[in-house]
Amino acid sequence: MDEKQLSRRQVLGGVAVTAGTAGLLGQPLPADAAAVNEPPMPDMGPSQAPPIKDVKDKVAYITGGSSGIGLGIARALHEQGAKVILGNLDDKQFAEALKLFPANDPRVATVVHNVMERDQWEAKADEIEKKFGPVSILVNNAGVGLGAGLTSGTYKDWEWGMGVNFWGPVYGVKTFVPRMRARPNEGCHIVTTTSTSGVLVGLPVGIYAVSKIAATGLMEQLRDDLRATNIGTSILIPGMTTTNIGRSETYRPESLRNDTPPPPRPAQQRPANANAARPAPPAPPSPIWARPQDPLIVGRLVVNAIVNNDLFIYPAPEYRQGVEARAQVLVESMVAYTPIPENIQAGIDSNRYFFTPMYVQEVQHRRATRKRTIPGV
Distance in angstroms (rounded) separating the CA atoms of residues 298 and 333 = 35
Tell me how far apart the 2 most distant CA atoms of the chain are, in Å.
Answer: 72
Is the pLDDT at 212 greater than 60, yes or no? yes
Distance in angstroms (rounded) separating the CA atoms of residues 314 and 237 = 5
Is the pLDDT at 51 greater than 80, yes or no? yes
| pLDDT tier, 335 (very low <50, low <70, confident <90, very high otherwise) | confident
- Percentage of the chain with pLDDT > 90? 68
Q: Is residue 162 part of a domain?
A: yes
**Res 217: pLDDT:** 98
| pLDDT tier, 345 (very low <50, low <70, confident <90, very high otherwise) | low
Question: Cβ(76)–Cβ(153) under 8 Å?
Answer: no
| pLDDT tier, 35 (very low <50, low <70, confident <90, very high otherwise) | low
Q: Is residue 59 part of a domain?
A: yes
Distance in angstroms (rounded) separating the CA atoms of residues 3 and 8 = 9
Q: Is residue 296 part of a domain?
A: yes
0.75 exceeded by pTM: yes
Higher pLDDT, 79 or 335: 79
pLDDT tens by residue, 111-127: 999 999 999 999 999 99
| pLDDT tier, 202 (very low <50, low <70, confident <90, very high otherwise) | very high
Q: Is residue 26 part of a domain?
A: no
**Res 29: pLDDT:** 45
Q: Is residue 202 part of a domain?
A: yes
**Res 239: pLDDT:** 92
CATH code (residue 271):
3.40.50.720
Q: Is residue 334 part of a domain?
A: no
340: phi then psi, degrees, rounded to nearest 5: -70, 135
List the beta bridge partners of residue 293. 241
Q: Is residue 335 part of a domain?
A: no
Among 26-40, 256-270, 291-305, where is mean pLDDT lowest?
Answer: 26-40
Mean pLDDT of 41-47: 92
Alpha helices in the chain (DSSP H): 3-12, 68-79, 94-98, 120-132, 155-162, 168-181, 206-226, 295-308, 320-332, 342-345, 358-368
Residue 110: helix, strand or coil by DSSP? strand
Distance in angstroms (rounded) separating the CA atoms of residues 345 and 163 = 46
Number of domains the chain contains: 1
Mean pLDDT of 139-164: 94
Q: Domain limits at 216?
A: 37-327+355-368
Q: Is residue 20 part of a domain?
A: no
**Res 353: pLDDT:** 80
